[in-house]
Amino acid sequence: MKKYVIIVSCALVLFLTICLLPVAFSFFSSYKLIDIAYITKSNPVNEEVDVYIGDVPRIDFTQYVSSSVQNLSHSIQGYDPQNPIIGEYTVHYSGQEQGHQFSKDILFTFWGFTKFAPGGEHVLGLTSKGEVYVWGSNQYSQLGLTGVTYVSTPTKLTSLPKIKDIAATNSSSFALDESGAIWSWGRNIDNVLGDNGSTRSTPQTINYSVSFKSLAGGGYNTMGAIGTDNYLYAWGNGKNGALGNGVNKESNTVTRIYTGGTKMAQYSFNGGMFTNLNDELFIFGSNDYGEMMSTNYSLHNQLPNKVTFLGNIKKLAAGYGMRMILNTNNNVWTWGDSRYNAVGHNISSGERPNPQQIATNAKDIAMNIGQGMVLKNDGSIIMFGENFSGQNASGSTAYTFSNSIYNPTFSTDAIYCLNETNLFFSKHQMYGVGQGTYGVLANGSTADQLATVQWVFNPNPNAPFSRRMIALKMVLKKEEYSL
């Protein structure tokens, strides 16, 4: 008798599954894939669903359940669609079908990007889940991908563990994992990958005994990091004291630079800056263009010098021979190479060793070779420097000798500079303008853009939406029918 019951039960399960699947698959054609990533865990009690935050994310699944469900309702706890915040939310569903009542709580994890690291013509993006996405040029394997010379939309890098920080130099990439180990890949010019090896597409850990807590912004071929001991470390190009240790020599191993306690650091071509734990500024390296705030332009190999008159510092930015800081009073100061008005002093040539305040009430700063930007708290953006590819968002490639103001139609949270490309991060979406070579604008194209374009981002192109939602539907059915 038991055998017949089991056979009948199995047949019933098979029958219901066959009947329900076509119904379930018929309700997914209109949904956009960008909003939902994939189901990561399935059990009879909860569904944990990762949801990518778009401009207006949709988490109402009522339109995708069977039409025979009646009185279906849902409520979302603690979620504001006008201000989506990364985190966990619970959606409560209830309703009935064929006389059966069901109630279901579903846990959603909203995730988005928390940091970007621009190189010369490539970008790394770090998500709240510790995943790394890459796009742009792969000419020197800096994307960590094989078989492609570039990718024009964000692509997940699957060869890394969970990551907590990212950085990039001109054609190399770096990631810091949760254990404190640094991974490097791409072009190994001047041993910037932390060893004396060759260019590589596969991320490898840098062999050093110290555990690290953050990466310092990379220069053209110099890289740094801050250890859990708060010391500053660096490696790569050491020309003219670029590492900060006063030595005119490159280093293929991690070198301790400063032991006084470091909060943040920014490396650039032939030198850089860092702040100590009291937010005080130190500068070091070459003085070719007045980077060391001196008119003695043959002054090189400089050890870190403290600068006090700019106030306490909360962000650093640098380009080729250019320096910029944002202090705790929200004022922006720049100095260095002023060719093409690259430091925003409204002067198109010569060295500018004396820092000049170019903005107040600022929120963010960005700089790369020959250009820079300042994001103000009112949403406007000061653009200065080169405009060969229309990166100042003026609608043309005409060059002006003075700073310009860009007022985007979207609210901007952060800004980033690449070589002749500017990026703007806005409510979990990326916009870009200027050079589009190698797909660095992430809009699926390699064409230059004189007006801002929005990126094309599909978080999980290999997982059809219907496959993901069927797991959610079948859990509801399983509870409903108690099979």
CB-based contact 331:315 (threshold 8 Å): no
Pull the structure tokens for residue 91: 């959606």
**Low-confidence spans in the chain with pLDDT less than 70:** 1-68, 81-82, 97-98, 458-483
How many Cα atoms are found within 13 Å in the side-chain-facing hemisphere of 360? 0
At 16, give phi and psi (nearest 5°).
Answer: -65, -40
pLDDT at 349: 85
CB neighbour class for 461 (10 Å; exposed up to 12, middle 13-18, buried from 19): exposed
CA dist 341 and 324 (Å) reads 13
Q: Which residues contact 157 (CB under 8 A, 6 or more apart)?
A: 131, 132, 133, 134, 143, 144, 145, 203
The greatest distance separating any two alpha carbons of the chain, rounded to the nearest whole angstrom, comes to: 99
pLDDT at 376: 98
- Reduced to 3 states (helix: H, G, I; strand: E, B; else coil), residue 5 is helix
At 229, give phi and psi (nearest 5°).
Answer: -85, 5
Phi-psi region of 136 (alpha: psi -120 to 50; beta: other; left: phi over 0): left
Q: Which residues of 74-102 are buried (b: 16+ CB within 10 A; e: fewer)?
A: eeeeebeeeebeeeebebebebebeeeeb
pLDDT at 416: 97
pLDDT at 454: 94
CA dist 187 and 142 (Å) reads 7
pLDDT tens readout for residues 200-257: 999 999 999 899 999 998 788 999 999 999 999 999 999 889 999 988 888 989 999 9
Report pTM: 0.84
pLDDT at 71: 80
116-454 fold: Methylamine Dehydrogenase; Chain H (2.130.10)
pLDDT at 48: 58
pLDDT at 6: 44
Domains of the chain by residue range = 2-111+460-481, 116-454
| Residue 103: Cβ within 10 Å count | 11
CA dist 17 and 456 (Å) reads 36
